[in-house]
Structure formats: structure tokens, C-alpha cells
Structure 1
Amino acid sequence: MTPRLVMTPRSHFSRKVRLLADGLGIALELVDAGNVADADPALFGPNPLMKVPTLIDGDRVVLDSDHIAAWLVRTRDPSDRFGVLTQDPDVLNARAVMNGMMAAEVELVLAARTGLDIAHPRFDKMRSAIDAGLDWLEQRAALFGEEPNYLGLHLVALWDHLALYGLAALDRPRLAARADALTTLAWVSASRPA
């Protein structure tokens, strides 16, 4: 049975899972949850937080993009070709920074989508965190390596989402070069959000 991924096409959290699955040749049935600002729990499958992504693999439900990635690797790619299961603190810190940036960006996008004024000071810290995160990652761009890996796929998902919504200046040349190099791969560019 093909695992189902409850997701949205523009979700960067969903996309990093999709990129990993595509890179590993793991078929997923994509279930579009629709507008993630919607409060209808039925749209989000069995996820009590009403967020995407959620993986339904037989009778197993897996929440959170990084947990889903680890599940897919443990069950379908024991050699861990993309380094999902790494314990390297530097790589895990980079993932944490990107996840925090992505969460801040989601807050900004959903606030604007639901009619909140994102010029409010509450959102200034989120924009500052995104910029600081980009600077931090730019200084550590060597972590992303030359070959496709989960950290790089995570970067592409973040980078393309930032470009789509225009919430940060993408004037970080080392990060841009890494994201651009990965985007030349057909299986990476195929899921780029429109």
C-alpha cells in the first residue's frame, strides 16, 4: 500500500518530505489539505494540530516533517543515502535553524492570509529571526555539501518558499549557489511551488 502524505503544494515542511521521497524513489500518494489556515480538522487527517505534513503508512500515523523523513528512511532506505539519521550536532543545529525560520515564515504568511496586519511589532521578531537565520546559514554553507542530502533538500524547500512569498532578501550567495545547484536536478525542480 502506498503511503499517503497529507500536505499542501506550497508547504515547505511538506516539500522537504516530498523531495526526500522523490530522491529515494519512494512513491507517496499526495493528499492536498487545502488552505492550511482553515480550522476544519477533517482536512488534516489524523493530525490533532491541524498542520501539514502528516504521513499515513498503513495503520501507522507519523507527524512532523523530520519524523516522517526518519520513518521513511528507517522503513525504506536503511542505508540512509541522504543522511537523514545523522547525529552530527552542526547538521542538527542547521536543521533546527531552518525549521525555526520556516515556522516563523508560516506565522507571517498565515497572519497575512487571515487579515492580520503583519506590520505589527509582534511579527518584527519573526522577520528578524528569518534574516538572522539566513546569515547564520550563509556562514555555515559548507555544511550543505556538494552531493544531494537531506540538509540540502531542506534548504531548497525553505529557499523556494522564501522566494515565493518574498519575506526575506535572498542575497546570500553561498546559500543561493547550493539551492540553485540542487534545483538543476529534475526531481527537485518538479515540486517547486508555483
Structure 2
Amino acid sequence: MKLYGTPLSHFSRKIRILLQELSVPFEFCDIGNVGENSDIFCNNPLMKVPVLKDSEHTVFDSDNIARYIVNKYNSRDRFAVNCKTPSYTNALVITSGVMEAEVKIILAQRAGMEDIYRYLVFQKARKTIENGLKWLNGQEQLFDSKDFTYLDISVVCMWDHLQHYKLFDLDYPMLKTLSLNLNRMQSFSRSKPT
């Protein structure tokens, strides 16, 4: 099994943590700069990471990959990857939306765009991040479990990525505490952006 991504990708990190926690052996393949070449995305027409290759199967998108892994290797679904509770799935959608908005801003800055917030698309991306973080920080009931979930993994990967790039004020105590607690675990600390 091979997981294609980049070391700093929060989307890829979610899957790396899940695979490690489930003790599923895999090879991580760093595809390099995702802003450059469309040939490096393992035939993903959306040109995004991660991509999982498992024998004859190629799977796109982190949440889709997580479901594939759990359905194949962990039918008990101890991390609630397949949870369908609306509040839980809404939180996953919000987390992914924040992550995607941040990537949009980072890629624009890497491309050398100046004063990106004069453009409506980047104003909306910034507001998406602010709204999403505020909403997630107010959902304490989703994060008070003794056992962490795939949602916890996703939120910590999002939070640590935001901290790494320092593009926003991060005054969200519940999210910060969740990150601090889970980054004590080896699967989280070894994959944290540096």
C-alpha cells in the first residue's frame, strides 16, 4: 500500500495518523511541490493529495481514503470514520472546508500574488476559515470523548497546519487544547508540521 502526498499536507497527515493507529503497513511517497506539475497526482483528475494505491485500487480524497481503509482493515471502526450523525459529519465538512480555504490562500501567496485580500475569492476564503474555526471551537460536545475519533484527527491536523503557516489569529482555546492533548501521542507528534 502506498500513500502519495506531501509531508506538510494536513489532508495526507490525517491518513498517515489513521494508518499508524490501525497498524496498517504503508509506504509514504512524497510527491513534491503540488503547485507545479499535474503529472504527480497519480491520475487524480482533481490534482489533489492524498492518493492511496492499494493493489488494484486507487482511492482519491482523504475522507474517502479513510472510509476505504476502515472498511478493509478495521470493521469495528474504532475511530468513527463512518459515523453518520449530522453534527459529526457537519464538523468533518467544516474542518475540510477550512483546510481547503487555507490551501487556496497558501497557493496564492506561493504564486507571488500580492495583497490577495483585495480579491473577493480570498476574502471569502479568509472568512470561511474564521467562521469555521469559531463554529468548531463551539462544538465541545463533539470532542469530549475519552477515545479520540477521526474527527479529532482531522481537527488537530487542520489546527497544526494553521499554526505552522501562521496566517491567522488562533484564539480558539478548545481547539488548542485538543491539539496539545493529541500531539502527546507518537502518531501525531511524529507527523506534526515542522
TM-score calculated relative to the size of structure 1:
0.95
Query: What's the counterpart of residue 166 of structure 1?
Result: 166
Following TM superposition, by how much is the alpha carbon of 1:171 offset from its aligned partner in structure 2, in angstroms? 0.9
Structure 1 residue 9 corresponds to structure 2 residue 4 = no
For the pair 1:98 / 2:95, whether they are aligned, the reply is yes
Match of 1:57 in 2: 54
Per-residue CA distance 1:75-124 (angstroms, 9 max, x = gap):
00111010001111100000000111101000000010111222323211
In the alignment, the residues of structure 2 paired with residue 89 and residue 18 of structure 1 have an alpha-carbon distance, to the nearest angstrom, of 25
CA distance in 1, matches of 2:23, 2:186: 13
> 4+ residue runs of structure 1 moved beyond 6 angstroms?
none
Alignment of 1:133-144 (within 5 A): 133-144=132-143
What corresponds to 2:186 in structure 1? 186
Structure 2 CA distance for aligned equivalents of residues 132 and 48 of structure 1: 29
CA apart distance, 1:141: 2.4
Task: Give 1:125-136 correspondences, 5 Å limit.
Answer: 125-136=124-135
Gaps of 5+ in 1: none
CA RMSD of aligned residues (A): 1.1
Identity of aligned residues (%): 41
Distance 1:73 1:139 in 2: 28
Q: Report the CA distance between 1:142 and its aligned residue.
A: 2.3
Alignment partner, residue 176 of structure 1:
176
- How far apart, CA to CA, are the structure 2 residues paired with 1:51 and 1:129? 20
Residue 67 of structure 1 and its aligned partner are, at CA, apart by: 0.3
Determine the C-alpha separation between the residues in 2 that align with 1:10 and 1:76.
25
- 1:50-79 CA distances to partner (integer Å, 9 max, x unpaired)? 210000110101001000000000000111
TM normalised by structure 2 equals 0.95
Do structure 1's residue 147 and structure 2's residue 144 form an aligned pair? no
Secondary structure of the corresponding residue to residue 117 of structure 2 = coil
Deviation at 1:48, TM superposition (A): 1.6
Letter in 2 for 1:34: G
Correspondence for 2:16: 18
Aligned length: 191
Deviation, 1:192, is: 0.5
